[in-house]
Structure 1
């Protein structure tokens, strides 16, 4: 086992490296190729994504060469996703061999994903599971125990006449958290096809669930000192207390047709790891790096199929002598990463490049975390690409003197403003999305801001978004 001497000297708790068995978590999601019912059957695309100990053996190793060659992670024929509940007759077991997309030398992890099409009758439901052994030994709960990752597929026609698409959730496979500090963690979950669905997040459970099977095996309730879980935002609070120990997170993301619905239309799993560390008191600076741009955390943008997508991960360091040495990531198949670029004294950049293909239609998630030379990890930064869609553009209004449009003369009692876009716009699920009004005559000082996610004064009517001021704040002049 390789233990970096630098870490022993500088950082207590990072000297315990992943060891033991090889599973590191994953997820499964699904969508119909055509959500408009036609005939008596529907073709469903199932997506699986798994993370492994990259040093377990050569089959689980991933590197830049394997990614460039579209190589695999896993061993063909070793493990399968099988049907475990419901109408299983039309499910064909799915190999868990995946295309290599990501790896981290520092975290000793490889990740990859695979898409597979299968056809099922309409109005049928069943649960599929990836269950085998084992998790790593060094877990807060469930060490060296079997894993169980379970997904519910339901082709029942929805009340609105369409076939459902499951939500997605995304995470890095391993996230570092300092011990003895109350941590608040948010999991990005989204359903960008069925935009009005109600999403809820819950802990995976061993019984009494929609899947009718054990969803998490030995790692159910695997995080210590959890104080709450907000099901609507998938936000939870916890505290790790043992440095050098991992804790397994097992969640189910479920979609409901309305707020009054009690039975989910699908249930998708997300399992990943937290790692607890303790900072040495001899360190002069312990501020972790931060991903600062270009887009805000949990942003969503549309990208056409076949387009050239370039994303810049910009990382800032705050401690003298620290440097970014690794970027742990979870990216779509086909996305490549540049080497780490030291672009200015405290700034590092990684360039991501990708051409989305037709099989990736719909939401595709990206998560990243920067690691410095003493193994401090930035907070997780995630975003979602909506493949096959273009982001709506704001139609620039024509300036007409005396109008009440977003530009031009604004009357003192003006309280309604509207923004027109080239595509329909819906209320976002991203926290911290705002519309700002500023005073150009006073150095662009803030007049008022509206939270697009919850403020009832922001009204979405398709191609027009209306902003309503309860009281007109304008000063004549």
Structure 2
């Protein structure tokens, strides 16, 4: 199986946050021949975090019908003005006219963009094909990917942003501000295929920070290095993430972890006066998620 990342829209576009959607992602798994389980994350501005949110996912090709998705605020950051709403919803496939289905979430309430001025809508599209795969003999399912909904690009540094199978490179002279990135992730039976088996959206924002690096906390040993490969044993994995503050007045108040897999975190401890750490643990996984996955984590301080 080949998984390709199609760059359908990559915009380094400064934005003014006057509306409420900031991006999102969709993935799916087959339940049976007429149902799929849709995993969804929509990102709003922070003020929406206090209430659950409902949205409509509709079939736009190959079937009919729609479903209302329900989600609660699971992660948020008031300083960076974002709130993630995650949930799972069963979608019933009705009156299918094709094995290749198109589903969409659309809203006219994307955060306002300076350029292009016509971009006012958030659209998340995915394609679903429940046929048996010729390469595995199993029912198809979508690629699985994940990314933090907002990423800090610190001060004037060159930086790689990693997503499974690809990486973005940010040059040091990118102007300060908020930027949006939208990808379409597609998988194919082999490298000669031109029609994707499935296609799922991933949209997130990059915040280019004006805070000097000397004022930002940093990860220190025994934290895994950027690009390290960790191996689970019998479905279990633990590692420590440790952040060092730059002054006695800076306190690490929260850690975040983002991955297609499910991790839990211990409470924050303080091994030395200016360092803070958590233990991140991978919950036991079934055989059908064996593979290689990206894990992203971050630390948040009382100053940022």
TM-score range, shorter chain: 0.7 to 0.9
Residue matched to 1:326: 254
Return the match for 2:104 from 129, 139, 145. Answer: 129
Aligned length: 282
User: Using the alignment, how far apart are the partners of 2:190 and 2:167 within structure 1?
Assistant: 21
| 1:340 maps onto 2:273 in alignment | no
1:248-267 alignment runs, 5 A limit:
248-267=180-199
Tell me: CA distance 1:52–1:325, structure 2 relative to 1, closer, same or farther (3 Å).
same
SS at match of 2:134: coil
Secondary structure of the residue aligned to 1:242 is coil
- Matching residue of 1:112: 85
**CA offset digits 1:221-273 (Å, max 9, x no partner):** xxxxxxxxxxxx32222446332x21101011111111222221111111000
Select 2:243's aligned residue among 309, 316, 319. 316
Q: Gaps (5+ residues) in structure 2?
A: 1-13
Note the alpha carbon deviations across 1:177-235, whole angstroms, 9 max, x for none: 145544332213xxxxxxxxxxxxxxxxxxxxxxxxxxxxxxxxxxxxxxxxxxxx322
Contact 2:15–2:112 at 8 Å: present in 1 too? no
1:349 is matched with 277
**Alpha-carbon distance in structure 1 between the residues aligned to 2:20 and 2:58:** 20
Contact 2:179 2:205 in 1 (8 A): yes
Q: Which residue does 2:140 correspond to in 1? A: 164
Match among 292, 298, 304 for residue 369 of structure 1: 298
Q: Return the alpha-carbon distance in structure 2 between the equivalents of residues 330 and 319 of structure 1.
A: 25
Superposed CA RMSD? 3.8
Q: 2:112 is paired with a residue of what secondary structure?
A: coil
Counterpart in the other structure of 1:95: 68
Indicate whether 1:273 and 2:271 are aligned.
no
Larger radius of gyration: 1
Q: Larger RCO: Structure 1 or Structure 2 (Cα < 8 Å, ≥ 6 residues apart)? A: 2
Question: What is the TM-score with the length of structure 2 in the denominator?
Answer: 0.75
* SS class of match (1:169): coil
Between the aligned partners of 1:314 and 1:31, the Cα distance in structure 2 is: 31
TM-score, scaled to structure 1: 0.50
Cα deviation code 1:19-51 (max 9, x no counterpart): 4211121111112247xxxxxx35422211122
Cα-to-partner distance string for 1:131-182 (whole Å, 9 max, x where unaligned)? 1022223666569711111111112222133221211111111111145544
Alignment of 1:394-433 (within 5 A): none
Pick the aligned partner of 1:50 from 42, 64, 67. 42
CA contact (8 A) 1:104 1:327 kept: no
Q: Residues of 2 paired with 1:362 and 1:287: CA distance?
A: 36
- Measure the CA separation in 2 of the matches of 1:328 and 1:107: 14
Q: CA deviation at 1:337?
A: 4.5
Aligned partner of 1:242 in structure 2 is 175
Q: Is contact 1:132–1:147 with CA below 8 Å preserved after alignment? A: yes
Give me the whole-angstrom Cα distance separating, in 1, the residues matched to 2:103 and 2:209: 35
Distance 1:259 1:102, change over 3 A: same
